[in-house]
Amino acid sequence: RKIRKIGARDAGFPPGPPTLPIVGNLYMFPKEFAHYKFTEWARQYGGIYSLKLGPGTAIVLTDAAAVKELMDKRSATTSDRPPMHIGALVTGGLHLVLARYGDTWRTLRRTAHAILTPQATSRHLPIQLAEATQLLHDILRTPQGFYTHVQRYSSSVIFSVLYGKRAPRYETPETTAFFQVEHEWELLMEPGATPPVDMIPLLKLVPERWSKWKRDSRRVRALQRALYFGLLDETAERVRKGEHNGSYMEEVLARQEEFGMNREMTGYLAGVLIEAASETTSSYLNSLILALVAYPDAQKKAHEEIDRVVGQHRMPTLDDLGRLPYVQAIILETHRFRPVLPLLVPHATIAVEEYQGYIIPEGATIFINAWGIFHDPALFDSPEDFIPDRYLLTENGTKPGVDGSHLRSTLAFGAGRRFCSGGHLAQNAIKINAMNLLWAFDFNPAVDSNGRPIKVDTFAYSKGATMGPSPFKCNITPRSKEKAEIIEREFLEAADTFSKFEFGLNPEDQEFVTKSRAQDH
Ligand code: HEM
């Protein structure tokens, strides 16, 4: 009887789709883009429902009030992560984002905080601004390469902050290596993409030659370690030679003991921060560009506003944003329309909780279905469309007359004690680049050989835990000759800020840097 009970939903648990003995709902668990199926189930079973994953239980929250109560207010018991055998195999349990709620996580998070508080973040503004200027310059020169220009931007900022070493090109070896391994890692970590080894531990015993996930895990681990520890050793070597440049890893290496860190933790902390910062920020910005191409009316309104407030003769600054309500609305609408992590990152409970009469067992996985909340037709008018104007009508973009007070504008950055550590850095990146891109460029569909516009597909997204648009084509042109000249000029002026971060460049990078500056003279 006990065995037959495995996979069955206990009395008192939130409702959910029908289960089968032993496997529960595993037989129907989506293998990719899980947020779509999760949202379909939410419309059927409600804002809080449960899935039986073999003997384990997952709770899916598609309700802002439940997120506020369970994840924000009761975060003392809902801030663990579910055991992720594959993640632990790849990173040795030292992955800050995936680490269980315990001392290792606390130490890593505390150490990361040193560079990510609002105050510390303001110290990174000069390099963020300089890199954002290069992004405009790169797009001006080779607009068709915008997608990787954006990726270069986001990785170069975090490389500079962490190791004091920037990436002038997408082809800079560390950047290319990072995005390649990150893609494989993302595929491995997507919910449902690999056999459920956490729920059915016997699967761990399948020999490596029959389990692709084992081979992939080994490969990703080797590639990540080569990159992360290579960069760390390079920093240590530089310090040994007395060539300090004030980077964060220099500080962690010097104060390792005080932080409670060792070499393994330090290498992974920095590597995980590259992961957490690069793919997310670049996916967001590429989604923004995709939305601007697909929704020309919204783009036009933003252009009108930015021309009125910032004008033709200077680039925008962070201080302008307060006077750009439509651009602010575009920023919020992009998070809603295409949240970078549609299911955020799963949490887990360390004690039983009770909510609205339902039991949430200890050790349950909790998925926050941000996609389902943001695309709920009961909350939002035409949720499938990109309509920034909704955020001018009500604070949280909900339709008039609906109570949207449980939502918060930062939902896309997570909840409770696991809330995104890099929120301030990310918000600055988004604000600066959203304003810059809108000020500088017109984004239009690419045209085919007959001159007909090619419609972009706003649903063409790559698989993986992070939701980034698949590479797409569009036509990007500067909005005026004067703006193009300002970008050229500002790019030259950024050279000063860059110089501190440009050491040990390989010959190709060095040539690129020299040429790109010389051409502007
Ligand atoms: C558009 C940009 C970004 C988005 C949308 C984003 C979103 C998120 C989300 C949803 C989580 C999971 C939160 C949860 O479990 O409740 C998270 C965690 C995290 N993020 Fe971000 N993030 C972004 C950029 C960054 C940046 C720039 C950094 C660092 C420089 C960063 C560092 C982290 C870290 C370290 C965690 C793990 C926190 C923990 O588990 O304790 N993120 N982020």
The string of pLDDT tens digits covering residues 176-208 is 999 899 889 988 888 788 888 887 888 888 888
Q: From the CA of 284, give the closest atom in ligand 1.
A: 1
Per the prediction, the chain carries an average pLDDT of: 94
Residue with the nearest Cα to atom 3 of ligand 1?
A: 280
CA of 157 to the centre of ligand 1 (A): 16
Q: What is the DSSP string of 289-310?
A: HHHHHH-HHHHHHHHHHHHHHT
- Residue 360's nearest CA partner among 150, 75, 58 is 58
Please give the pLDDT value at position 326: 98
Please give the pLDDT value at position 115: 85
Q: From the CA of 116, give the closest atom in ligand 1.
A: 30
Residue with the nearest Cα to atom 17 of ligand 1?
A: 420
Residue with the nearest Cα to atom 43 of ligand 1?
A: 420
The string of pLDDT tens digits covering residues 351-403 is 999 999 999 999 999 999 999 999 999 999 999 999 999 999 999 999 999 99
The string of pLDDT tens digits covering residues 31-55 is 889 999 999 999 999 999 999 998 8
Residue with the nearest Cα to atom 8 of ligand 1?
A: 413
DSSP letter, residue 70? I
CA of 421 to the centre of ligand 1 (A): 6
Please give the pLDDT value at position 235: 92
- Residue 391's nearest CA partner among 430, 336, 431, 432 is 336
Both tokens of 90, joined, read 């790849």
Please give the pLDDT value at position 243: 84
Residue with the nearest Cα to atom 9 of ligand 1?
A: 413
Q: What is the DSSP string of 196-230?
A: -TTT-GGGGGS-GGG-HHHHHHHHHHHHHHHHHHH
pLDDT at residue 517 is higher than 90? no
Residues in contact with 422: Cβ distance below 8 Å, sequence separation at least 6, in sequence order: 116, 273, 276, 277
Q: How far apart are CA 359 and CA 353, in angstroms?
A: 6
CA of 422 to the centre of ligand 1 (A): 6
Q: From the CA of 112, give the closest atom in ligand 1.
A: 35
CA of 284 to the centre of ligand 1 (A): 13
Mean pLDDT of the 207-219 span? 92
* Cα torsion 130, 131, 136, 141: sign: positive
CA of 453 to the centre of ligand 1 (A): 36
Please give the pLDDT value at position 4: 61
CA of 217 to the centre of ligand 1 (A): 22
Residue 521 pLDDT class (50, 70, 90 cuts): very low
What percent of the chain shows pLDDT beyond 70? Answer: 99
Residue with the nearest Cα to atom 40 of ligand 1?
A: 97
Please give the pLDDT value at position 309: 98
- Opening angle at CA 375, ends 369 and 379, nearest 5: 105
User: What residue type is 169 in one-letter code?
Assistant: R
CA of 413 to the centre of ligand 1 (A): 6
User: Which range has the worst mean pLDDT, 100-114, 132-146, 191-205, 321-335?
Assistant: 191-205
Q: From the CA of 416, give the closest atom in ligand 1.
A: 16
3-class secondary structure, 489 = helix
Please give the pLDDT value at position 47: 97
3-state helix, strand, coil in the chain (%, to 5): 55, 10, 35
User: What residue type is 288 in one-letter code?
Assistant: L
The answer on whether 420 is annotated among ligand-binding residues is yes
Q: From the CA of 347, give the closest atom in ligand 1.
A: 15
pTM of the predicted model over 0.90: yes
Pocket test for ligand 1, best of 411, 420, 431, 433 (most atoms within 8 A of CB): 420
Pocket test for ligand 1, best of 61, 104, 265, 280 (most atoms within 8 A of CB): 280
Both tokens of 519, joined, read 């051409």
Q: What is the DSSP string of 453-483?
A: BPPP-TT-B--SSS--BPP--EEEEES-HHH
pLDDT at residue 114 is higher than 90? no
- Residue 136's nearest CA partner among 150, 155, 156, 115 is 150
CA of 99 to the centre of ligand 1 (A): 13
User: Which range has the worst mean pLDDT, 56-65, 237-246, 387-396?
Assistant: 237-246
How many residues are there in the chain?
Answer: 521
Residue with the nearest Cα to atom 18 of ligand 1?
A: 420
Q: What is the DSSP string of 333-360?
A: HHHHHS-SSTT-S-EE-SS-EEETTEEE
Instruction: Tell me the Ramachandran region of residue 456: left when phi exceeds 0, alpha when psi lies from -120 to 50, beta otherwise.
Output: beta
Residue 519 pLDDT class (50, 70, 90 cuts): low
Pocket test for ligand 1, best of 80, 413, 430, 431 (most atoms within 8 A of CB): 413
CA of 111 to the centre of ligand 1 (A): 15
Residue with the nearest Cα to atom 28 of ligand 1?
A: 422
Task: Give, in order, the Cα–Cα distances in Å from 375 to each of 192, 269, 342, 461, 505.
Answer: 22, 34, 11, 16, 45
Mean pLDDT of the 270-280 span? 94
DSSP letter, residue 10? P
Is-contact 345 97, C-beta < 8 A?
A: yes
The string of pLDDT tens digits covering residues 442-496 is 999 999 999 999 999 999 998 877 889 999 999 999 999 999 999 999 999 999 9
Please give the pLDDT value at position 2: 61
Residue with the nearest Cα to atom 41 of ligand 1?
A: 418
pLDDT at residue 1 is higher than 80? no
User: What residue type is 482 in one-letter code?
Assistant: E
Q: From the CA of 71, give the closest atom in ligand 1.
A: 16
Phi, psi of 367 (to 5 degrees): -95, 130
Give the pocket of ligand 1 (CB within 6 Å): 96-97, 109, 112, 116, 158, 273, 276-277, 280-281, 284, 340-341, 344-345, 347, 412-415, 418-422, 425-426
Q: Return the number of other C-beta atoms located less than 10 Å from residue 332's C-beta.
A: 18
Q: How far apart are CA 211 and CA 214, in angstroms?
A: 6
Q: From the CA of 161, give the closest atom in ligand 1.
A: 30
Please give the pLDDT value at position 196: 83
Is-contact 497 130, C-beta < 8 A?
A: yes
CA of 263 to the centre of ligand 1 (A): 23
CA of 244 to the centre of ligand 1 (A): 29
Q: Which residue has the tokens 């050491």?
A: 503
